[in-house]
Amino acid sequence: MVSFFIMGNVIKNYWRRITKKYIIGSFFLLYILLSFKNGIVDVYGRLYGNPIYFWLNAVFGSLLIMYFSYFIYKRKLKINIILEYLGKRSLFILVTHWPIMQWITYVLNSTGVLELINGKPEIASFSYYLPNKYIFTLIEILLLVIYTIMPILFVVMLDKSKKCVLTSVQV
């Protein structure tokens, strides 16, 4: 853990040199290549793959997130409004995402979708075995989208219901 804090200070000192487009492009390519080379990482299951690849991907991923965040901030893009909205509600999203993941897992299990992907329910969502890592990655991406969108939709619906309640109380 300490190594990530040290790396953060180093990056802070050299940020102007790092943000050149060709360096960011090479970081992106290295991140993608090392992700496939390292394989599946499961922090919950303590599977990190190669520790050097894991550490390098953590650094490259952090740099890419910092760069794209800085890029969006400087360009004054319209997505800033959405990101600000989500940022103000991020604690609520954090609190609700786990129960929502559990309900989605329950629905996937009840409808038989888990059986199609050789899955079985567990305490932390579910586990499954697929012999092909590319199919595994596609399923992971789909689940990430579902697990991300559902809490956000829940927050939006809650905000709309608050507005309905507030307007009916004012009348």
**Domain ranges within the chain, ordered by starting residue:** 2-77, 82-170
Each residue's pLDDT expressed in tens, for the chain with a length of 171 residues:
566 677 777 777 766 666 666 777 787 888 888 888 887 777 767 777 888 888 888 888 888 888 888 888 888 878 888 888 888 888 888 888 788 877 877 787 788 877 776 666 666 555 555 555 555 566 667 777 877 788 888 888 888 887 665 565 555
pTM: 0.54
Answer whether 105's CB lies under 8 Å from 126's CB: yes
In angstroms, the CA 101 to CA 57 distance is 26
Measuring CA to CA, how many Å separate 108 from each of 7, 18, 112, 148?
41, 44, 6, 16
The label of the residue with tokens 């599946």 reads 40
Answer whether 82's CB lies under 8 Å from 90's CB: no
